[in-house]
Structure 1
Amino acid sequence: KSKPLELIIALKDIVKIVADKNINEEIASSHQAVEEVLAESLYRFSNVLNNLEDLFKEEKIDLKGSLLYNTIRSALNSIIVPFEGDPINGIQIMGLLESRSLDFKHILFLSANDDSLPNISIDSSFIPFTIRKAYNLTTIERKIAVFAYYFYRLLQHSESIHFLYNATSSDTKPKEMSRFIQQLRIETNKEFKYNSISCGINSPKEKVLSFNREQQHIDKILKKSETKFLSPTYINDYLNCQLKFFFKQIIGLTLSQEFDEEMQDNVFGTIFHDCAKQFYNEIIEKTNTREITKKDIELHSKNIKRIVDENFEIEYLKIKQRKTPKIEYNQIQNIKKEILIKYLRKLIEIDKNYAPFNIIAMEEGFDKTLEIEGKEIKLGGYIDRIDLKFNADGDAIVRVLDYKTNNYEKKEVRLDQIFFNDDILKKRNDYFFQAFFYSWLIKNNPKFQALIPQINYFTIKPEILYIKTSTIENQTSDIYLLNDDKGRRLIDDFDEIYQYFEENLTSCLKDILSLDNNSTYNQNKNDCEYCDFHSVCY
């Protein structure tokens, strides 16, 4: 979190410490050239940092994060350290162009990769390649030909030649031997000997991390329960990985948040939730009733683009009140906006088929208490949407709907998979726990009952609506419970699993508040791949 100037000054101090402290004294005593090269490198390193410091001061540049890192790295990568050698004795270090009129018995090419040999940079020019070619202007082909001439001329009087090249490729930069070496292998009858040199890398031992639970940790959990509530995300973190729970919820470690033009999934989801809430709130305010009909949805659908624009500015661009007449978005932002519009249209088309229904609550907070070892633990969360509909028999169905906007889609779950990692699938499911948690939350809840005082008996039905994969013809909001015989049945009444859920939730909370056992990390590495704290454990 240091300022750019502070970081540059700190780097300068490090260079000064290295220069003052002769760390290469033992090597330098046997070869004076090493000391000279080190001194020259540090001198040029210091000059670049001085130039950066002056530039940042004069222009008042304030860069952060990866942009600052890349700026400093790019400046340091441009450093070239010249070598001087005795023309009669020792090793001569030079570039290929400096060897134009010289012959050597023994030659060692240190950088014989194709991006270094030939080392040709493409000049920026307004003249197209075809015009340069037609008028015999210099082209890259000509430069490569000149480079090839110097290369072959240097080899003609040599007795031994060694080429060193890097065969390790990265995702963005493939590494291969120079095209000149390939030509030599094919065109000459000379014997080539190959030696592969690699570093023996020993896999680091797996870190077995755990933490001893202390009373202060338990007190922090109890304090959170008193001041707010324990959310389904809070409990999911514990069930997925106790170590992640410790880092995130107890210590409070978080990743630094930077502005991201591509928009993270959680931000995208938040904007969609806000858009859906505003869309139906405007209908409720206009009609002065919570009943949503197909006609209401059709009449209000013309406002979708405006609603997305407003929430996009508020949540993503953090603009509470626009002062400029119009905001110009980049291409990525425009694409994200179009996707949001598409998703919102899809939601209201699905709801048109489900209408009429009554909106009971949207993004509404509910809480409930459980007694654990004589302590009142408050649990709660914000539910995306609760609506009410009467079926053909006149029975009231309260639907607890949770929106999901990412790529994941799963409609089936085993009962024991809600709280525990499955031996076969190796993964418990956060989404189902969250949907069932919200259904448990409003069951026998006075606040919720007050929202529908005229309804004495109703059925609670948890649902997850996967916006991205849902279609009007194939709505995927229903949840199915897998049976031992590999069959499945629709969960249309939460009462069927209410007792099981509450018993296991109580057991989970007892474990969270227990001092008897230590907490360790999740043994399943697949779950850790995208964890924010992956580098700590592996």
Structure 2
Amino acid sequence: CEHMYITYTTSSESINSNEPSRYLMQLELELARSNPAIELIKKYYTIDSEEVNSKITHIEKTPEVITRLDELFENGTSASAIKTFIACPLDFYYKYVLKFGEEKKIEEEVESNTFGTFIHEVLEDLYRPFSRREKNGELKSIQPPALQPEDIDKMLKNCELLLRKKFSEHFNNDPEAFEKGKNFLSFSMAHELTKRFLKFEKKQLLTHVNSPFFIEALEEEFVEIIEVEVAGKIRKIKLKGFADRIDSLNGKIRIVDYKTGNVKSEDVGKNPSKKDLENVDPTDATLLVEYCLKSKHFFQLLVYNFLYFKKYNVIPESSAIISFVKLNESPFTIRLGNYEMQTAIQLFPEVLRLLLDEIYDADVPFTHTSDFFNYCDYCV
């Protein structure tokens, strides 16, 4: 091209860095040196502060918006979508009603979500030979044996090679792209976290050496259509989810979600007070809804339990999160208070209805919530 314009922001309000990227600085230093005919011109400009500071604080739920909500839930939604509404209704509107997608970009450095994906994929590759079910839930014709400590030893030997393959594919098969700098640190950290997790797994197996431990499924998809009455109308809600792992110890089913980020015990529910135990009706969904609203990952774990039961007619023993950065405190098992698992599963449609009542309430607009679990993707 003959003319190229590159812009960057110096705003201190920007979520990302307020200075040129390393790539731009490299262009400035090297491009003119190797191409003397190129002329670099720097210009600075400002945008009217009123335009910068004008932010949409709420969106009314018009009939058109309600129609979009119907389409969203009929076509299929996830625990993540409803969890986004709980965290920030306005962010939910932008992400799921308007369907703003994340901008696809070429990563010069491995970002946190990509980093976590690599570890998830490597663990799936390592554990896949031991899974009793295919991704679609069908049992394998030849059933693998129970997982043994020596199987983990083999995984420890193979995990670095698999991680290198994931990183190399990400950087267009350029192994040098992660041999130095931040990408090298990302690779080293991913390798270290994977090794720590596998050692954690081996320790768990040695603790239950006389109890058969099976990998039941990996990355299994669940889909269930639920009919609930919301805002005076029967609505079909198509609920979807993927379980990172389903395992069993002594025949007791556990659904596991991996997290490479921090997790706290209060994120998976809470034990009720003595007053709750004495006064709360265990057949009432109110307390479960409260857990969903106040505990970051509770709704997601509850959804897994419900979907598994609907697919296999088996009540799982538990669902839990394994945090790679808090292995010493893992697993973070869902805390149902004074509810039995069977009761919580039976009450789930009512929990969902109560949450959807808030989403569909035409008198309450989608507004931004600034003091919840994490920052919004779109509304700030």
TM-score higher than 0.5: yes
Query: Which runs of 5 or more residues in structure 1 are unaligned?
Result: 9-54, 62-70, 78-200, 391-395, 450-456, 484-490
Deviation, 1:459, is 3.7
Deviation, 1:385, is 0.7
Q: Distance in 2 between matches of 1:290 and 1:434?
A: 30
2:363 corresponding residue in structure 1: 517
Q: Distance in 2 between matches of 1:431 and 1:236?
A: 8
Q: Distance in 1 between matches of 2:105 and 2:241?
A: 26
How much is the aligned-residue C-alpha RMSD, in angstroms?
3.8
Deviation, 1:220, is 2.7
Deviation, 1:76, is 3.6
Q: Distance in 2 between matches of 1:208 and 1:5?
A: 36
2:375 corresponding residue in structure 1: 530
Question: What is the SS of the residue equivalent to 1:526?
Answer: coil
Does residue 434 in structure 1 map to residue 276 in structure 2?
Answer: no
Query: Which runs of 5 or more residues in structure 2 are unaligned?
Result: 7-31, 133-141, 206-211, 273-285
What letter is aligned with 2:67?
Answer: D
Identity rate of aligned residues, in percent?
22
Is the 2:130–2:215 contact (alpha carbons within 8 Å) kept by the matching residues of 1? no
Is the 2:269–2:298 contact (alpha carbons within 8 Å) kept by the matching residues of 1? yes
Is the 1:283–1:300 contact (alpha carbons within 8 Å) kept by the matching residues of 2? no
What letter is aligned with 2:228?
Answer: I
2:153 corresponding residue in structure 1: 298
Does residue 466 in structure 1 map to residue 323 in structure 2?
Answer: yes
Is the 1:261–1:332 contact (alpha carbons within 8 Å) kept by the matching residues of 2? no
Question: What is the SS of the residue equivalent to 1:430?
Answer: coil
How many residue pairs are counted as aligned between the two chains? Answer: 313
Alignment match of 2:236 (pick from 376, 401, 404): 376
Q: Distance in 2 between matches of 1:499 and 1:443?
A: 10
Q: Could you say if the C-alpha distance between residues 442 and 231 of structure 1 is closer, same or farther in structure 2, counting changes exceeding 3 Å? A: same
Deviation, 1:234, is 0.8
1:240 corresponding residue in structure 2: 87
Does residue 346 in structure 1 map to residue 206 in structure 2?
Answer: no
Q: Could you say if the C-alpha distance between residues 208 and 225 of structure 1 is closer, same or farther in structure 2, counting changes exceeding 3 Å? A: closer
Does residue 363 in structure 1 map to residue 219 in structure 2?
Answer: yes
- Please show how residues 41-440 of structure 1 align to structure 2 within 5 Å: 75-76=42-43, 209-227=57-75, 229-283=76-130, 289=144, 291-314=146-169, 316-317=170-171, 319=172, 322=173, 326-329=175-178, 330-355=180-205, 356-373=212-229, 374-390=234-250, 396-411=251-266, 413-414=269-270, 419-420=289-290, 428-440=294-306
Larger RCO: Structure 1 or Structure 2 (Cα < 8 Å, ≥ 6 residues apart)? 2
Deviation, 1:288, is 5.7
Q: Could you give the per-residue CA deviations for residues 438-460 of structure 1, whole angstroms, max 9, x where no partner exists? A: 11111132xx45xxxxxxx6543
Q: Distance in 1 between matches of 2:152 and 2:90?
A: 46
Deviation, 1:476, is 3.6
Q: Could you say if the C-alpha distance between residues 529 and 497 of structure 1 is closer, same or farther in structure 2, counting changes exceeding 3 Å? A: closer
Deviation, 1:358, is 1.4
Is the 1:372–1:510 contact (alpha carbons within 8 Å) kept by the matching residues of 2? no
Q: Could you give the per-residue CA deviations for residues 407-434 of structure 1, whole angstroms, max 9, x where no partner exists? A: 3433552376864599xxxx73332221
Deviation, 1:208, is 7.5
Q: Could you say if the C-alpha distance between residues 408 and 257 of structure 1 is closer, same or farther in structure 2, counting changes exceeding 3 Å? A: farther
Q: Distance in 1 between matches of 2:95 and 2:360?
A: 16
Q: Distance in 1 between matches of 2:185 and 2:239?
A: 38
Q: Distance in 1 between matches of 2:343 and 2:315?
A: 14
Is the 2:223–2:238 contact (alpha carbons within 8 Å) kept by the matching residues of 1? yes
Is the 2:215–2:247 contact (alpha carbons within 8 Å) kept by the matching residues of 1? yes
